[in-house]
A and B are shown apart, each in its own frame.
Chain A
């Protein structure tokens, strides 16, 4: 089948073909036009504090080693031996001086340089080791400790790419004097769904809460989200949803973390800590952002930040019909260990592979993928038209702003997605 990209997403992106989630050629175009050209999240500096520390990451399906070099610098290399392609790093994370390839024991420094070729002594012509290091990710930049890589050498700087999303990210990240810390290895959940399904859910689909999650989320909480909720698109593909709490709200209603399981049942120590954070919020992030109580954020193409339950998530494609969905718990770096341990359950109780809420989300992603892969329904693209054209600029909030029921976050995502696929369409 030779689909044209222009047939997948209509002009205003209010109609979107089922094939966007299920077609092999679409996926091949996504690799070229999106994963080869975007800034992709690799990890957080708190995961690689010491020289020799490393974690595994992915850029689409390409395995990456993210490491802290002996010089203190950050390195990202493709985890594939220059000799025959085996992964040279086999642990999820750790600290090492060398990565040793299992097959013939070529060894690489933590920065990715080829150090030894055991067979070298037995041959006359010596290979030029300086040319045979691991393939380096050509662009690596960090912002507020968040490390991104890109395969596109000519990509715009990370700061410009994030644009006004920095305003919204800082509303959370700058609340803490030492920023945030990623704790533990990511939970890696493999689902039979397309990578864009979790992404779209986290980018702005707050509205499903009242329906899909009504067995768990109390009606009052959902009503409050609708009443105080905003959905923002800063740049097409990036989005933020949050509540803007009234100025006279009691601190326990305003403070981040209080509405999670850890906040509700974790005891005085954690509650006092959360109140303390909120008490200093205006000073740290300004009056407006102190009143922001975040829900979900999306950073194009596949990074999400679930502020309400404090998790970063990356949706790693594994073909059109499979996704490896990674999520980390994040905590304030300055918090005492006991509080970090309590706060991590704000994430794990409701989200992640055992999450009471996210089990419903995973179910609908799998089912939406099935619906996107059926026959005889290609003349019925999905309706993405809710709230068409109703988003507006706002006096204080950067970007286009609307109610959470407006699906403009998805229309903007798919417009960008369509344009980026179209730009590479002739290459396949």
Chain B
């Protein structure tokens, strides 16, 4: 692996006695697209804020582009683009001015920023809204503007905290497309998400975090291979019978899991398992064979109950 652009070892962030991030290790290579996947409160945003040099760590080591963010805050931040979980666009400024003013915060001269702002407005499909007020933009437009703003300093690393949460499918696909282009241009992407499809689409490699610790690390395909089976068979027996039926399913599939409304059978070959279930004389009301997804991995690793 080439020299990593971000290196964390035993990274800890405590709020009073509570460890929001409890000693995590990861390395991110230049040009890589790296994801943090985890349930609410896992510590994703906290980690992103430490990487973004706006939160000082409680313990461990952290290096961004070879610099310690606690010592070289402004230098580190000048190389980063940040898309926070909640938009914090400047509502007193017009759309294009949001980019110009933000560029000036980095100490860049207007002659550098102005052409770049126009280019980014095009990139974010907001050229025709350049003079609009921020309040008048839709949620998806605001998100795209936030991403455009994060690119005004031509960052080496782009940090995206839940970039597409709250957007409709069209808006998400537009955003994914834009992020994909950035990745192709060699920008390192670090993102957090709750969406498995997003992680599968965008991440070369990801870590699943829960309660401040890393549960697993790998590429999406790799994680599915390690923590789930190739296929999942979903069968429903209806009306509280699932529990009872499940006890007869010993030996079917690699393992199975009983949910209130259905049973999941993890297997290499879902159809084969289904015919074995039929052979047992069991008649599911509905059945479905699908490929295993990152969601199965996620739920296996972080559990099905709400953590909070």
A and B bound? Answer: no
Q: Which residues of A pack against B, CB within 8 Å?
A: none
